[in-house]
Structure 1
């Protein structure tokens, strides 16, 4: 059995991760309660990781495309598209080995802001705190944020926040202007907002609500999220070039703020590909319980957006709220019936950030792929679908 680990200058520029609000679909009275799901909800489960999965030490093992069952020419095409789209780095790993690694202008890029990819890291931190009994996702946030006691937000749970169904106050001006760009203490600002809807009745890409998880983690663990991430994730996974920044007040950021590299993010993706275990054999360590990874990345957390788990984007079929807001801060793109990336397997999932920061994980193929860089142009597009499809086109079937 895997052993457990022991508990142990923001926003120079533009608007970050956009927002999207989706009202509950009409379907009869009582839809709000029915739309809320819990960690015990049924759904497809991720396959058991390949027993031959390799975990990097200080450096990654590498494999040729041919040995990894991939097509080098297709990987080169992907790299050419990524370079044209203003990418700083692209990494593709197969079964824990690096098959493709490119940097522009090269040879190695410095850590950069990953924007809302940070949210997926925050989900991992919450899962670690639950692993150690410091909190439960079914707990009400008000147990850790006393300012919400006796208010309409008193019964919002941690799971509601992870699912982006908290119903907390949101508008473009509030979330992107007042909180993201101007509030020196973003946690205090986010806590002080009101409740706009009952939990579970709307889906909203709400940066402010997710920032409140910083206060939850601090109260539950006694450790600021930035330090907690170093102790529990960056250190154990060997993410030596990663840090989680603080805001102007010194408070940890949890909706953005992750400074990192493609190779470091590939380690985070590999952890999730491996169902929360890091290492193999006697060296295996349980970083996240398998059940938490499953709830985060394999099950839609709400009928309001089938493409969302617990701060991870999914490829589950159903009503899909477009991730356009998360990666462009532009038009949300509305909703549609289908899948986030129709050409990808159902078990695929992603961490996504503003300006086209992508971590794609495809358990069916043992793939973790990462892209960081400037916002891609509209023509030709290089969104999450084009990036993921390009990676999967290189897998020899």
Structure 2
């Protein structure tokens, strides 16, 4: 993906990055939503949906028509679900083609979940961000990768080898994606270059497993999904039974919204803290690298500055050939952040107003209208009074 404007280089280049939604029109009707599409009022008898209290948009200070337009646009772009939530309440929720309870692939939204798992492990005292990855991955000891830290993997400035072939073909087809990712060489000095590096992120799988003493899928279920009530969410595993931590999560609109609520609640669930406030601020509150203002710890940000995309061309030192500065969504608040994935999967969070926009749907096709950070931010800004 190029960030000359967050645009399209084709579906393959957008994989696991800021992405787009399909423009073909769905003929399926909406599966019973919490809010009537035409009126914005709760459906008869709907006081709560899957544990989310229901409220009308106007009651929570949102423009009803803007929420409705957002849902109509989401449906036009072959979304399978769309939801708007504010202050812990469900303002509107629509489902097409699939029932709300059926999990679906959300691609790189997985990365933001992985970041959260690292934060929980930090809170538990199992690891530190400045730990050398070689502490957990002995194959890197005595190599050029020995000084790469956990923080580098979270920030995407590890300097680990990246190419389109390794990241979007060989990594995906490997029997053990973890073994393949660990085996790649060091390309640049740690911290010197930024790359949207799926293989480098996959190395967090053995880091988490060694640090916590349990498989990532189990750790996620016990320490994150169950406490948050994400009962329809799970990691996929490869043929070697390694969890895919750079993509592959399966979830629903209302389940993934619970992840956003954890961040809105300053890392607490049910009054119990599972994420340190300091980690949360670094993950979504400021840029994690001088190389990309729009990136925290595996979360996308709306901070202004130098912007980098997934496949921007670079020079021999890993620096952008065509530097771009700006902001992903200039009309949206600067502190908005998002988990994003191929096909326009998006969980957009506005901490100032405690508002979330969630859209999941079918993968994009080349040239289709973007539906990622910028489109979800447009729904947000139009809906806020």
Q: Specify the alignment match of 2:373 in structure 1.
A: 384
Q: Do the aligned partners of 1:57 and 1:238 also contact (CA within 8 Å) in 2?
A: no
Distance 1:171 1:19, change over 3 A: farther
Distance 1:237 1:200, change over 3 A: same
Note if 1:17 corresponds to 2:5.
no
Q: Specify the alignment match of 2:126 in structure 1.
A: 134
Distance 1:324 1:333, change over 3 A: farther
Note if 1:307 corresponds to 2:299.
no
* Whole-angstrom CA distance in 2 between matches of 1:16 and 1:214: 23
Distance 1:324 1:145, change over 3 A: closer
Q: How far 1:146 moved relative to its partner?
A: 0.4
Provide the secondary structure at the position in 1 that maps to 2:93: strand
Note if 1:263 corresponds to 2:254.
yes
Q: Specify the alignment match of 2:90 in structure 1.
A: 98
Could you give the per-residue CA deviations for residues 82-121 of structure 1, whole angstroms, max 9, x where no partner exists? 0011100011100110001001136536111111100000
Q: How does 1:233-272 map to 2 (within 5 A)?
A: 233-272=224-263
* Whole-angstrom CA distance in 2 between matches of 1:337 and 1:178: 32
Task: Give the counterpart of 2:326 among 335, 338, 347.
Answer: 338
* Whole-angstrom CA distance in 2 between matches of 1:292 and 1:173: 33
Distance 1:17 1:64, change over 3 A: same
Instruction: Name the Cα RMSD after superposition.
Output: 2.2
Provide the secondary structure at the position in 1 that maps to 2:185: coil
Q: Do the aligned partners of 1:321 and 1:334 also contact (CA within 8 Å) in 2?
A: no
Q: How does 1:226-375 map to 2 (within 5 A)?
A: 226-279=217-270, 284-322=271-309, 335-375=323-363
Could you give the per-residue CA deviations for residues 55-92 of structure 1, whole angstroms, max 9, x where no partner exists? x9951111101101011111111111100111000111
Aligned residues: 338
Q: Do the aligned partners of 1:226 and 1:253 also contact (CA within 8 Å) in 2?
A: no
Provide the secondary structure at the position in 2 that maps to 1:255: coil
Q: Specify the alignment match of 1:199 in structure 2.
A: 190
Q: Do the aligned partners of 1:163 and 1:309 also contact (CA within 8 Å) in 2?
A: yes
- Of residues 97-106 and 234-243 in structure 1, the stretch that sits farther from structure 2 once superposed is 97-106
Provide the secondary structure at the position in 1 that maps to 2:84: strand
Could you give the per-residue CA deviations for residues 99-156 of structure 1, whole angstroms, max 9, x where no partner exists? 0100113653611111110000000000111111110010000000000000000000
Q: How does 1:206-225 map to 2 (within 5 A)?
A: 206-225=197-216
Q: Do the aligned partners of 2:153 and 2:200 also contact (CA within 8 Å) in 1?
A: yes
Q: How far 1:336 moved relative to its partner?
A: 1.8
Please give the TM-score of this superposition, normalised by the length of structure 1.
Answer: 0.81
Q: How does 1:50-89 map to 2 (within 5 A)?
A: 59-89=51-81
* Whole-angstrom CA distance in 2 between matches of 1:176 and 1:381: 21
Q: Specify the alignment match of 2:180 in structure 1.
A: 189
Distance 1:361 1:19, change over 3 A: closer
Please give the TM-score of this superposition, normalised by the length of structure 2.
Answer: 0.84
Q: How far 1:340 moved relative to its partner?
A: 1.4
Please list every run of 5 or more consecutive structure 1 residues that lacks an aligned counterpart in the other structure: 1-12, 21-55, 326-331
Distance 1:125 1:106, change over 3 A: closer
Distance 1:131 1:259, change over 3 A: same
* Whole-angstrom CA distance in 2 between matches of 1:58 and 1:349: 24
Distance 1:222 1:107, change over 3 A: closer
Q: How far 1:334 moved relative to its partner?
A: 6.0
Could you give the per-residue CA deviations for residues 19-41 of structure 1, whole angstroms, max 9, x where no partner exists? 89xxxxxxxxxxxxxxxxxxxxx
Distance 1:57 1:129, change over 3 A: farther
Q: Do the aligned partners of 1:16 and 1:115 also contact (CA within 8 Å) in 2?
A: no
* Whole-angstrom CA distance in 2 between matches of 1:126 and 1:57: 30
Could you give the per-residue CA deviations for residues 259-293 of structure 1, whole angstroms, max 9, x where no partner exists? 000000100011111221123xxxx0101011100
